[in-house]
Structure 1
Amino acid sequence: MPYIRKKFIEILEKAIEDGKKMTREEKLFTYDGVVYPTTLCSSQLFKALESFEARSDDVILAAYCKTGTNWVGQIVTDLVITSAKKHEPHKLNEELLLAEFPFLEIGDLEKYKRMKTYPSRRVIFTHLRADKLPKSVFKNKAKILLLVRNPKDVAASFFHFSNTFAAYPPYETFGPFFEALMKGEVPWGSYIDFLCVWNKYIDEENVMLITYEELKENTALGAKKIAKFFELNLSEEDIQGVAERSTFKTMKDHSKKTHGEFGDVLFRKGTVSDWKTLFSQENNQEMDMAFKERLAGTKVGEMIKYDIYCKA
């Protein structure tokens, strides 16, 4: 079944309306060295976030913008709810589980006080780099599923997203957007930086990496790995049900109901190698060089399978 997040729709629709009234410069601000969207985040919220107390049984999905967060977030949420209904129905409060905007760094200043009162397991998404998360996340060993996607498809998806989501600065052509992305001058900063920072945490026992591409290839197998990591005791039938409810077509068909008008923006293509329609030879060379210099030979770099998904 599709999970309807009313707070998600409410906050994003407001961000879209606010964004329409802003200049492109007003849409972004920098906090602690990273660029963020003004309509969704604030320095006051980041300061309040420092007091957030993570739990060891929190279910956290960490992913850069346009790596498939909403799709994989649906899978993770469905796995948690399916497991709770099966094993601990008395502990499940579906309304509270979906009450907040799912991203940790987006919401009002009272959000973290409310979250203290919510029962476990809490399902949390974040676009933040590991070094920008509250210290309690690693101190209390909350489990983190790190989702990554090949950087060229991220760039292509992010470009289209920026031109349809009024809260982000638009770009007439791909070239200027690509330049801004590589410099970290887009919302959530540089994707290469995001990957490099998370690579330092990849060996932590509470972190598991999964790729967008492997989930696209075999969603059921990926969902099974996720369930095992979060210690969700589910049958093969349960897993298959989650995979079937989480296909791109199913989520796109339900997107107006689950995500309001924002659904059309979120669920565009959901494909692999869409970057080939946008990248110039110069773009390819710059991304190839950046990846080689900063991520080649790293665990995160190997998992991305750059030579398979990013070669022109």
Structure 2
Amino acid sequence: MNPELMEKLAEEIQKVGFKTGQIQGILFPQSTCDIWDQIYNFQAREDDILVATFPKAGTTWMQEIVDLIMLNGDVERSMRAPCFVKVPFIEINPRPLPSVESANAMKSPRLLKTHLPIQLVPPSFWEKNVKVIYVARNAKDCMVSYYHFQRMNKSLPDPGTWEEYFSAYLAGNVPWGSWFDHVIGWWKARDKQQILYVFYEDMIEDPKREIRKVSTFLDKDLTEEVLDTICHHTSFDSMKDNPMANYSVLPSFVFDHSISPFMRKGKVGDWMNHFLVEQNIIFDEEYKKRMEGSRLSFRNKL
């Protein structure tokens, strides 16, 4: 990224800092709240593809998979730009990073990204019957990953201690709100809209199976060779070494990889290295209460 762009980004990060606001009682970066009308009135197109997740549930992984599916496995073309340039994050607003404005200027078909809970998604996505791929990750691993992400992401609030963050996350007092409300809301909508609901743990278990599922959903008939290419290029090790996917092109005043790398572990069950016994008991009690009746189940380990 050029120096002028970096300077503008630095000014914006320093100006916005870690200020937050609320939309319908949900915590968001203040910069998102400042342009909420523009975000909510975003005009989707019929051939858009939207990757939706709660933060740290495999968003970048799925972005790269979908991009390669759309490119029929052309790895060279997939390296054309950093992931955050290729795939506008529609509700983020740390200018000059791509968001609504850059999405509006993109040619179709567009690949877009959101962390919005279902009730806040711009209505045009449903009016245009856009295909959405929602990735859900088990709450415990999501919490751990989000904690470390907030530590290194200078445009989000400092998460405080692990103990403080544990309580905040469980109560939904983190940017983009409650994990419980998020995954359940999207789950309930999956049969009403064109939503493919994918589980992170399934992607870890058998990536080729899940990539094939996504390609079928997108009406792309890919050969086994192309599927293998996508599997290899979107493996954790490949993406961790890929500057177009690992956010290493961003300066440390935005993402400080010395605190925690953006791509940290990519495993199922890392929560066991963080949760105290008493925290696990508290979490499981809240989980049972919040998930009751949803018919939605996750695997916390493989």
1:305 pairs, out of 276, 299, 302, with 299
State how far apart, in whole Å, the 2-side matches of 1:12 and 1:192 are: 38
Displacement, 1:202? 2.0
User: What is the root-mean-square deviation in Å for CA atoms of aligned residues?
Assistant: 3.3
Choose the corresponding residue for 1:102, options 82, 88, 92.
88
C-alpha contact 2:68 2:74 (8 A) present in aligned 1: no
Whole-angstrom distance in 2 between the partners of 1:289 and 1:277:
20
How many Å apart are 1:256 and its aligned residue?
Answer: 7.0
* Residue in structure 2 matched with residue 37 of structure 1 by the alignment: 29
Gaps of 5+ in 1: 1-5
Q: Would the alpha carbon gap of residues 60 and 268 (structure 1) be closer, same or farther in structure 2, given more than 3 Å must change? A: same
CA deviation map 1:143-180 (0-9, x unaligned): 11110000000011111112222222224531100111
Instruction: Give the structure 2 partner of residue 78 of structure 1.
Output: 68
Query: In the TM superposition, what is the alpha-carbon distance from 1:255 to its structure 2 partner?
Result: 3.2
Tell whether 2:263 aligns with 1:267.
yes
8 Å CA contact 1:52, 1:136 repeated in 2: yes
Take 2:11 and 2:273, find their aligned partners in 1: how far apart are those partners?
Answer: 27
The superposition leaves residues 68-99 of structure 1 with CA deviations (integer Å, 9 ceiling, x where unpaired) of 111121111111122799xxx9xx9x77x975
Provide the rounded CA distance (Å) in 2 between the counterparts of 1:12 and 1:222: 40
CA shift at 1:45, angstroms?
A: 2.0
Q: 1:215 aligns with which of 193, 203, 220?
A: 203
1:204 alignment partner, one of 188, 192, 201: 192
* Shift in alpha-carbon separation, 1:113–1:65, aligned structure 2, 3 A: closer
The 1:79–1:125 alpha-carbon spacing in structure 2 relative to 1, beyond 3 Å, is same
Instruction: Go from structure 1 to structure 2 and tell me whether the alpha carbon gap of 1:100 and 1:263 turns closer, same or farther (over 3 Å shift).
Output: farther
User: CA–CA distance in 2 between the matches of 1:305 and 1:188?
Assistant: 22
TM-score, normalization by structure 2: 0.83
Task: Provide the TM-score with structure 1 as the length reference.
Answer: 0.81
Counterpart-to-counterpart distance in 2, 1:294 and 1:175: 21
Offset of residue 189 of structure 1: 1.2
After TM superposition, give the deviation of residue 263 of structure 1 in Å. Answer: 8.7
- AA at the equivalent of 2:171: K
Counterpart contact for 2:63–2:87, Cα < 8 Å: no
Shift of 1:16: 9.9
**Aligned-pair distance for 1:246?**
0.4
- Structure with the higher helix share, 1 or 2: 1
Match of 1:284 among 254, 257, 280: 280
In 2, distance between residues paired with 1:29 and 1:106? 13
Aligned pairs for 1:62-141 within 5 A: 62-82=52-72, 99=85, 102-107=88-93, 112=100, 115-141=103-129
Distance 2:188 2:35 in 1: 26
CA-to-aligned-CA distance 1:262-289 (integer Å, 9 cap, x gap): 4943111111101011112232123212
Output the CA distance in 2 between the equivalents of 1:16 and 1:172.
Answer: 24
CA positional deviation for 1:294: 2.2
Displacement of 1:244: 0.5
- What is the deviation of 1:17? 7.7
**Aligned partners of 2:184 and 2:91: how far apart in 1?**
20
Partner of 2:46: 56
Aligned residues: 288
Match of 2:243 among 255, 276, 282: 255
Structure 2 vs 1, CA of residues 111 and 67 (structure 1 numbering), >3 Å: closer, same or farther? Answer: closer
Segment of structure 1 superposing worse, 67-76 or 50-59: 50-59
Seen in structure 2, the aligned counterparts of structure 1 residues 84 and 78 have a Cα distance that, compared at 3 Å, is: closer
Partner of 2:148: 160
Look up the match of 1:14.
9
Does the 8 Å contact 2:21/2:29 carry over to 1?
yes
Tell me whether 1:47 sits opposite 2:43 in the alignment: no
Contact 2:88 2:103 survives alignment (8 Å)? no
Conserved? CA contact 1:16–1:167, under 8 Å: no
Aligned to 1:3: none
SS of structure 2 residue aligned to 1:268? coil
Matching residue's letter, 1:200: K
Find the aligned partners of 1:270 and 1:125 in 2 and give their Cα distance: 20
* Structure 1 Cα separation of the partners of residues 16 and 84 of structure 2: 29
Unaligned ranges ≥5, structure 2:
none
Between the aligned residues of both structures, percent identity stands at: 27
